[in-house]
Structure 1
Amino acid sequence: MQSRIEEHPDIQAMRARAAEISVKPSAQAAEGLTLLTGLYLAISPWVIGFNGNPLAVSNLVTGIALAVLALGFGSVFERTFGMGWAASGIGAWAIIAPWVMQNASTTTGTVVSNSITGAVAVVLGLTTTAMARS
């Protein structure tokens, strides 16, 4: 008789530990701030005024991806807690994108907005990863 992997005691213990972490106020704050950061990254081309720029598409796509990732942290943390590194990766991309994207005419506002938003995403991603490891 074979047992299902989901019924393994170690898997159940990991999920219980992740569920316990996800109800802490610090985890909920990180999830909420990650969601807001993703939403801001997605709308930043229209807030800052570079919506005709190829960087706008990058910010829209990565912002939506970050927001969806944050929703995963909030709703099924026990299955997504290991994905904090992805939020950090999205943040790192947001920081370097103004310089590496071709045909992206950058302004000071574009660079500052992406750098601050990216740095916040990196910190929140690392925080989420640290919570998962603690």
Structure 2
Amino acid sequence: MRTHPGIAESREKYELAAESPAARAVTGLTFLTGLYLAISPWVVGFDRFTTLTVNDLIVGIALALLALGLASAYGRTHGIAWVAPVIGVWTIIAVWVVSGHVATTATIWNNVVTGAVALLLGLGATAMGSRAWPR
């Protein structure tokens, strides 16, 4: 199956997409967004809200790992790029869903802005494979 011409051509197309400067910027910024989300409870100072802290840590690590996969092997991982915008949406709503009544202005701003950035970058990562790239 690996040597099938359609699969090889498709993989080559996605690898060309991942090598563009725009794609590198998107995956790099997505990685940094994931790292920031993972450490944000300690940076912003809401680490006393355990459930939101654990959520942001896990979701941030997942986003960073997804970005690493997209950056290193987009031809093999492009099918899961849709997860990045979903993580962004979850990050936006998690402050109310996970933390309940303990949401503060700092937690809301942190998660909404970080989630919006992750959503936009995730949409960019998802769209990378659909562009026509020169050979």
TM-score with structure 2 setting the length: 0.92
Q: Which residue of 2 aligns with 1:6?
A: 2
**Does the alignment pair 1:47 with 2:43?**
yes
Read off the aligned partner of 2:118 and give its amino acid letter: A
- Which segment drifts farther, 115-124 or 74-83? 74-83
User: 2: distance between equivalents of 1:110 and 1:84?
Assistant: 26
User: 2: distance between equivalents of 1:82 and 1:70?
Assistant: 13
Q: Deviations over 1:94-120 (max 9, x none)?
A: 000011115561110110010010001
1:50 Cα deviation after fit: 0.9
- 8 Å contact from structure 1 (residues 34, 124) kept in 2: yes
Runs ≥4 residues deviating over 3 A:
none
Read off the aligned partner of 1:128 and give its amino acid letter: A
Unaligned runs of 5+ in 2: none
User: 1: distance between equivalents of 2:93 and 2:114?
Assistant: 11
What is the total number of aligned residue pairs between the two structures?
130
User: 2: distance between equivalents of 1:44 and 1:130?
Assistant: 27
Unaligned runs of 5+ in 1: none
Q: Which residue of 1 aligns with 2:25?
A: 29
Alignment partner of 1:7: what SS?
Answer: coil
Task: Map 1:1-134 onto structure 2 (within 5 A).
Answer: 5-53=1-49, 54-103=51-100, 105-134=102-131
CA RMSD in angstroms, aligned pairs only: 1.1
Q: Deviations over 1:67-108 (max 9, x none)?
A: 000000111111112222100111111000011115561110
User: 2: distance between equivalents of 1:40 and 1:34?
Assistant: 10
